[in-house]
Amino acid sequence: MSKQVNLTINGKQVTAPEGMTVADAAKLAGIDIPVFCHHPKLEPVGMCRMCLVEIGRPMRDRNTGQFVMENGQPKIQFMPKLETACTNRVEEGLVVLTTTEKAVDGQRGTVEFLLTSHPLDCPICDKGGECPLQNLTMAHGPGKSRFNYNEKQHLDKMIPLGELIYLDRERCIQCARCIRFQDEVAGEAVLGFDDRGRYTQIISVSDPGFDSVFSGNTTDICPVGALTTTDFRFGARPWELDAQASICTQCPVGCNTTLNIRREAKAGGEVVVKRVMPRQNEEVNEIWLCDKGRFTYHYTEGKERLTKPMVRRDGKLARASWDAATKFAAEKFNAHKKDFVVLASGRLSNEDLFNLKSLADTAGGEAILYSDMGGGELTQLVGVGAGTNLGRMGKGDAILVIASDLYEEAPIWWLRVKQAADRGATLIVANPRTTKLDRFAKYHIHYAYGDEIKTIHDFGKKSRISDEFAKAKNAVIFYGSEGLGVNGTSALASACAVLLKESGHAGNANNGLIGVWQRANDQGAFEIGFRPVPNLEKALKGKAVYIAGADPVGDDPNLAKALESAKFVAVQELRETATTEIADVVLPAQAFTEREGTFVSGERRVQRYHAAVAPKGDSKPDYAITAMLAKQMGVILQGTSATVVFDILSNSVEAFNELSYDALAQVREQWPIVGRSDMYYGGTTYENTKGMGVQLLPMAQAGGTVRIPKVRKEAALRPKEKELLAVPANKLYDLGVTVRTAGFLDGRIGEMMISMHPSTAKKFGVEDGRKVKISFDGVSAEAPVRLDETVASGVALIRRGMGIAIHEPVIAKIGGRVKS
Amino acid sequence: MGVFDPIIELSKGLGETLRSFLTEKTVTYQYPEEKRPVRPRFRGRHVLKRYDNGLEKCIGCSLCAAACPADAIFVEASENTDDKRFSPGERYASTYEINMLRCIYCGFCEDACPTEAIVLGDNYELSFTSREQAIYGKDMLLEPVASENMLTPRKVEVGIYTRSVPEMQDPRD
């Protein structure tokens, strides 16, 4: 713990850690000093002058360096002028006065100045009601202005900075919180000031505008209504919204969110989600949320949502009752008991997956995880220890990111890893191509696709990088699925686990392995016993398949073919997908906004989400559907409530160690204080009152035996003369069900592309932007080529989820006649 | 007391009745044929006002709903464009509902309104035969316009109506 310093604020004795600013120290002690530009997560700049206070310092004797005493007390010398509380650090014996006439006068004057050109259009401003400028004007403002109202500047309103954020120039008070956030926290300096004096304005300096996946956060910390989201524009007034705690379902980070809901006439009198806001959890997402998490909740809405169970009769899907539909499916599954397969994805909650797994086990079926990434059994062994907080990693620690582009796969991890590197942690990025994280890395290793295991084994040899990794106080490895399939990732996870175990970085907080999964609850699926298979096509062929939360037909034509030959297909899904179109039975499931459940994040933190809105139509939660179907099959499962299922789950799955919803609901004191009545300080992020979750103990920490399976060696793929290596990589905004259907991010999804190095393109005689035909493994697709110098030569990089079904590295051919 | 005293008293009283019948004005109104004018500060059924040019004063800020102690008002806002303009500025009320059964006619909505759009009028003749009828929508609340071309929404010249909240004088009445 850092050294503590004693000071006095308004006569109150305050103790604060050394290096803290006076404004923060006051906040810590429960004294409010008004601020606009200062934010506890940003470096102080002292631009707005709102925090003017009187500061006195104890006088020291010039010769002895001792305090000059007066009546037994150190003599305090006040500065003749007011000082900013946000730029002064705490010192021993400091005396701060925030409510003297002089200080109050200074603060009042600052508000008066800030309002000289503020439009005061609070009635139509989206920030009105949760606006720091409004609140601080009421608390510290003069009430009357001496300036002439008619001299107000009228500037442009509603300037789109990007397609997600609007800027209102009149409302901006030039505090630079947004610029500094992009600069310091997100590391993407896409905003800046333009012009000077009264003409100063915020501009986006990127193309496309506001090119950052963290843009939504600037609207949270903007102390006025200058930055607002296009999504929530005029959606509701903040005081009309109710809040419900939730967890983001888009990636394995498991960001804590708050769903703001309201009953709406536009939605036919239904209660709907109006916006998604971050909820503070300093151990997971701090107070941030990426744009994918903030804006994709719309996928739970719309006409394509399934509302009634359907059964295929005479080749057509027809509405049926729950009883009839589940009975029909149960009969078919019972008839094909030997071929029963459950295919589920990490979009489902633990409760759902547990019921599915129980059904598969009891009925003698196989439980398959719909994922291209393996290794979850290794994160169970040497995953990060309980108590892990990336926010505490810094100097002396090491973070290795291998085969993953965190920015595209788990933006908040990217942000936190970047910040750990800023604090001095050794960041090692190992990837075949340059990623956005390289800029912050101390070392980057550019290996060739197929050399992932070798790269990890090289850490066993002596080198500067391996030395620094081995000697690090704490070390975390993030491994992903770039250029790897199920077998490759499993092998890589094993190699990483061995490295962590041998270097003594397993079984403690801030030490261990983290899988950068493709879906939010893949880790939970592994805990419960689901496993991905290397060849899904083979696993589904001729089987009776029960699919939950996955769209294999839409994702992969080979899987579509396999399912065509399946004996029976029942699909449990939110929306109409290509898979529901071919299904024999369709069972409508509830979205995460409509039900409760738990997810296990990549850091193996179990977190709970709550129901916020009413379910659509006759849909039911997945665990309840499975229980109904199971009952018809003669298997008794619990489906009455998520709590009951979770209790059984935590009693039967060892890793959950008799965890309960009560334990998940516990909260701890967090710093900085955000989201209470004083939004001026931390922004509009919600305070966490519904629970911070519990991290599962990895085997290495629980004291069990850690037996790491041998790393399977696979023959490297060697393309022949006229061939090239096609490799998959993940993309943040893809064409997956939960992104495409949200509608809002269309502009950022982009086109299906095949990226290759200019030299490779030249070899195959293709130009930038030209459409080519690529074929591998029975897949044949056409897409334009994009030249990209960061891609290794001889390689075609294909993004997953963009239309070309690629699960693992394959040898591909380019050429053939292009249709259009 | 004399024998005639009660008769004298009676005729005094009847005389007073006769006097007032002959000299005083009648105060009884023959409602509903005849209506008593309301006082200047009377608070009757709400009206959503328009500017002289026909544009709606309401900007959908929902402050009336916030001020309403009976939770009788429901507002939803949407965005104006110059092609389809309802009110000046960026925002207008796409839904505006008052539940007249809930309303207590306190007039807080008037006080809260930044554009003097919602005004309690003279009409006190409210009757409903169902609860649904008691919910007055925008179609019933909006002031009628003098001519067709003043109806909203309408196409207006670009860039003129940019301010939502107009400058106003202190209300003094």
Per-residue model confidence as pLDDT tens digits over A450-468: 999 999 999 999 999 999 9
B164/A124 Cβ within 8 A: yes
**Which residues are A360's β-sheet partners?**
none
Distance separating alpha carbons of residues A680 and A112, to the nearest angstrom: 17
> Looking at the predicted structure, is the pLDDT value of residue B171 above 60?
no
Place of tokens 């030959």: A565
Of the candidates A416, A375, A386, which has an alpha carbon nearest to the alpha carbon of residue A516?
Answer: A375
Chain B, 51 to 70: residues with Cβ < 8 Å from chain A are 59-63, 65-66
String of b and e for B12-22 (b: at least 16 CB within 10 Å)? Answer: eeeeeeeeeee
Structurally, how many domains does chain B consist of? 1
Q: Do A265 and B97 touch (CB under 8 A)?
A: yes
Instruction: Measure the CA dihedral A457/A459/A461/A462, to 10°.
Output: 170
Helical H runs in A450-530? 452-457, 464-471, 486-502, 522-528
- DSSP category for residue B85: B
> What percent of chain A is predicted at pLDDT more than 90?
84
Tell me the mean pLDDT in the region A468-473.
96
- pLDDT more than 70, % of chain A: 99
pLDDT-derived band of residue A738, with 50, 70 and 90 as boundaries? confident
pLDDT for the residue numbered B91: 95
Has residue B170 got a pLDDT over 60?
Answer: no
Q: Quick one: average pLDDT of A577-588?
A: 96
Q: Rounded distance, CA A263 to CA A273, Å?
A: 9
Cβ–Cβ pairs < 8 A, chains A and B:
51
The domain of B132 spans 46-150
End-to-end Cα spacing for chain B: 59
Q: What is the rounded CA–CA span in Å between residue A639 and residue A631?
A: 10
B115 lies in a domain?
yes
Alpha helices in A268-319, H assignment, sequence order: 291-295
Q: Specify the 3-state DSSP secondary structure of A274.
A: strand
Residue B109 within any structural domain of the chain: yes
Residue A356 scores a pLDDT above 80: yes
- What does the alpha-carbon distance between residue A491 and residue A497 come to, in Å, rounded to a whole number? 10
Report the C-alpha gap between A497 and A710 in whole angstroms: 10
Residue B95 lies in a domain: yes
Q: What domains are defined for chain A?
A: 4-114 (3.10.20.740), 150-297 (3.30.70.20), 310-371+525-663 (3.40.50.740), 376-516 (3.40.228.10), 723-814 (2.40.40.20)
A476 close to A401: Cβ distance less than 8 angstroms: no
Which structure tokens are listed for B146?
Answer: 């003098």
Q: Give the separation between CA A817 and CA B49, rounded to whole angstroms.
A: 67
Distance of CA A239 to the CA centre of its chain: 27
Instruction: Note whether residue B169 is domain-resident.
Output: no
Give the single-character DSSP code of A93: T
CA distance A674 to A491: 43
Q: What is the pLDDT of residue A152?
A: 82
Q: Do B62 and A264 touch (CB under 8 A)?
A: no
Are the C-beta atoms of residues A179 and A193 closer than 8 Å to each other?
yes
| DSSP-derived pairing of the beta strands A242-247 and B118-120 | unpaired
Between A253-267, A357-371, A668-682, the lowest mean confidence (pLDDT) is in A668-682
The closest alpha carbon to A574, from A126, A195, A131, A249, belongs to: A249
Tell me which residue has tokens 């990623």.
A435
Nearest CA to A807 out of A784, A778, A785 is that of: A778
Contact with chain B for residue A242, Cβ under 8 A: no
Q: What is the pLDDT of residue A819?
A: 66
Contact B77 A121 (CB under 8 A): no
Which residue in chain A is spatially nearest to B76 when comparing CA positions? A236
Q: Report the SS3 class of residue A508.
A: coil
Query: Which of A157, A239, A240 lies nearest to residue B90, judging by beta carbons?
Result: A157
Backbone angles phi, psi at A797, to 5 degrees: -95, 125
CA distance to A124, A141, B115, per residue, from A135 (Å): 16, 9, 22
User: pLDDT band for position A13 (50/70/90)?
Assistant: very high
Cα B72 to Cα A66: distance, rounded to the nearest angstrom:
68
Instruction: Note whether A123 contacts B61, CB cutoff 8 Å.
Output: yes
DSSP state at residue A383: B
CB within 8 Å: B74 and A265: yes
Min CA distance, A292 vs chain B (Å)?
A: 24
Cβ(A549)–Cβ(A373) under 8 Å? Answer: no
Task: Report whether pLDDT(B92) > 90.
Answer: yes
Please say if the pLDDT value at position A240 is more than 50.
yes
Please count the other Cβ atoms lying within 10 Å of the Cβ belonging to residue A207.
7
Instruction: For residue A105, name the pLDDT band (cuts at 50, 70, 90).
Output: very high
The pLDDT assigned to B48 comes to 97
**The residue to which tokens 């000299």 are assigned:** B23
Cα-based angle A69, A70, A76 (whole degrees, multiple of 5)? 80
Contact A69, A17 (CB under 8 A): no
Separation between Cα atoms, residue A777 and residue B71, nearest integer Å: 64
**Cross-chain Cβ contact A237/B62 below 8 Å:** yes
β-bridge partners, A724: A812
Residue B173: predicted pLDDT: 47
Q: What is the mean pLDDT of residues A235-261?
A: 96
- Amino acid of residue A611: A
The CA-CA-CA angle for residues A255, A260, A262, to 5°, reads 155
pLDDT in tens, A602-654: 999 999 999 999 999 999 999 999 999 999 999 999 999 999 999 999 999 99
Model pLDDT for residues A516-532, shown as the tens digit of each residue: 999 999 999 999 999 99
Amino acid A524: pLDDT:
97
Q: Do A237 and B167 touch (CB under 8 A)?
A: no
Give the tens place of pLDDT for each residue, A116-174: 889 889 999 999 999 999 999 999 999 888 888 777 888 899 999 999 999 999 999 99
pLDDT band at residue A1 using 50, 70 and 90 as cut-offs = low
Q: Which of A155, A168, A231, A234 to mutate to test the interface with B (most CBs of B within 10 A)?
A: A234
- Distance CA(A169)–CA(A193), nearest Å, equals 12
CB contacts under 8 A, A 77-136 vs B, are 120-121, 123-124, 128
Which chain B positions have a beta carbon within 8 Å of A236's beta carbon?
Answer: 62, 76
Choose, out of B57, B61, B115, the residue to mutate when testing the contact with A (most A CBs < 10 Å): B61
State chain A's mean pLDDT as an integer: 93
d(Cα A265, Cα B135) in Å, to the nearest integer?
13
Contacts of B97 in chain A (CB under 8 A): 265
CB-CB contact of A537 with A368 (8 Å): no
Instruction: Give the contacts of A195 (CB within 8 A, at least 6 positions apart).
Output: A201
- The answer to whether the CB atoms of B90 and A239 lie below 8 A apart is no
**Whole-number Å distance between alpha carbons of A214 and A220:** 11
Q: Which residues contact A144 (CB under 8 A, 6 or more apart)?
A: none
Q: Evaluate whether A13 touches A51 at the Cβ level (below 8 Å).
A: no
Our CA-based measurement puts residue B39 at a distance from the nearest CA of chain A, in whole angstroms, of 31
User: pLDDT tens digits for A333-342?
Assistant: 999 999 999 9
Query: How much is the pLDDT for A721?
Result: 84
CATH value at residue B130: 3.30.70.3270
Is A121–B95 a contact, with Cβ atoms under 8 angstroms apart? Answer: no
Q: In what order do the strands lie in the sheet with A366-369?
A: A316-319, A310-313, A585-588, A568-573, A544-548, A340-344, A366-369
Q: Is residue B129 part of a domain?
A: yes
For the stretch A501-507, contacts whose Cβ atoms lie closer than 8 Å and that sit 24 or more positions apart, written own/partner, are A501/A382, A501/A700, A501/A706, A501/A708, A502/A460, A503/A459, A503/A469, A503/A470, A503/A475, A505/A472, A505/A474, A505/A475, A505/A476, A506/A381, A506/A382, A506/A698, A506/A700, A506/A706, A507/A382, A507/A385, A507/A698, A507/A700, A507/A701, A507/A706
B74 touches chain A (CB under 8 A): yes
**What DSSP element (H or E) covers A759?**
helix A758-763
Q: Could you tell me where the DSSP H helices lie in A188-336?
A: 216-221, 291-295, 322-335
Given B59, B76, B94, which is nearest A123 (Cβ)? B59
Could you tell me if residue B7 is inside a domain? no
Contact B167 A149 (CB under 8 A): yes
| Identity at A149, one-letter amino acid code | Y
Place of tokens 């994922």: A371
DSSP string, A314-338: TTEEEE--HHHHHHHHHHHHHHTGG
Residue of B nearest to A156 (CA): B162
Q: What is the mean pLDDT of residues A415-440?
A: 96
Query: What is the C-alpha separation between A795 and A724, in angstroms, rounded?
Result: 6
- Higher-confidence residue of A484 and A739: namely A484
Q: What is the DSSP letter of A792?
A: P
Question: At A206, is the pLDDT very low, low, confident or very high (cuts 50, 70, 90)?
Answer: very high
Q: Return the structure tokens found at A577.
A: 């997908």
Would you call A95 helix, strand, or coil by DSSP?
A: strand
What's the pLDDT score for residue B169?
A: 60
pLDDT over 70 (residue A179): yes
Rg over alpha carbons for chain B, rounded to the nearest Å, is 25
- Tell me the pLDDT tens digit for each residue of B19-74: 999 999 888 899 999 998 999 999 999 999 999 999 999 999 999 999 999 999 99
